[in-house]
Structure 1
Amino acid sequence: MASRWENLVVDAHDPARLARWWAEVLDYQIVHEVTDEVEIRRSPDELPGLIFVSVPETKQLKNRLHVDLRPVDQMAEVERLVDMGARRVDIDQGEASWMVLADPEGNEFCVLSGTGLVG
């Protein structure tokens, strides 16, 4: 029997702030919140979700796992995300069809173009 993907857990210095940021990015909602943990999903009964948990240390290295976003308009979405507090990141991706950004705590993610290879 195969497993079912339920959540992706993200370490965060400020889980509530980072969860709210990603909820706005993805048009998700908060479905669970306690002091050191916040879960967001598209809707309360739709999996998978993202869970943000409190950790004392800050991010040190490039992520080994990241989120890929595929908007209708890549440049408009990058502009929106940067206005929300993301920053552009160079991870030696070269001339790629995707753009690498980092969320407010430095977690890298890709914004894909309408077509092309996945980042």
Structure 2
Amino acid sequence: MALMWEEVVVDSRDPRTLGLWWRDALGWVVVGESADELEIAPSQGAHPTVLFGAVPEEKSGKNRLHLDFVPDDQAAEVDRLIGLGASRVDIGQADVSWVVLADPEGNEFCVLAARP
């Protein structure tokens, strides 16, 4: 049996705004858009994609699934993402080598220390 990872779906109050935020944060491109969805990918035809879909409710509680990113320079990337509208969040991580941020709708993600 073959199984291909197609996309990650992110519930959003404003999928266009959040999808464009992630497009800018990742340097990806928009590959699809409708009235209530926006889809981004590293390039046209690449997978998996991230699909932002409209839901009526606000996010509540900590994410059960989150994304981790490894930058070349952790401090510079954290500053860049905060400049785009991310915020630092405390989910009880204590003193760790990664930085927990949240996107403009409160979805947590981590910026790990650069790999050697």
Contact 2:16/2:38, CA 8 A, preserved across alignment: yes
1:58-77 correspondence to structure 2 within 5 Å: 58-77=58-77
Runs (4 or more) in structure 1 with deviation over 4 Å come to none
TM-score by length of 1: 0.94
User: 1:18-55 deviations in whole A, cap 9, x for unaligned?
Assistant: 00000011111000000001100011111000000000
Q: CA deviation at 1:88?
A: 0.2
Q: Report whether the alignment pairs 1:47 with 2:37.
A: no
| Mapped partners of 1:102, 1:48: distance in 2 | 21
| Mapped partners of 1:109, 1:90: distance in 2 | 11
Q: What is the total number of aligned residue pairs between the two structures?
A: 116
| Mapped partners of 1:101, 1:35: distance in 2 | 28
Identify unmatched segments of 5+ residues in structure 1: none
TM-score by length of 2: 0.97
Name the amino acid aligned to 2:34: V
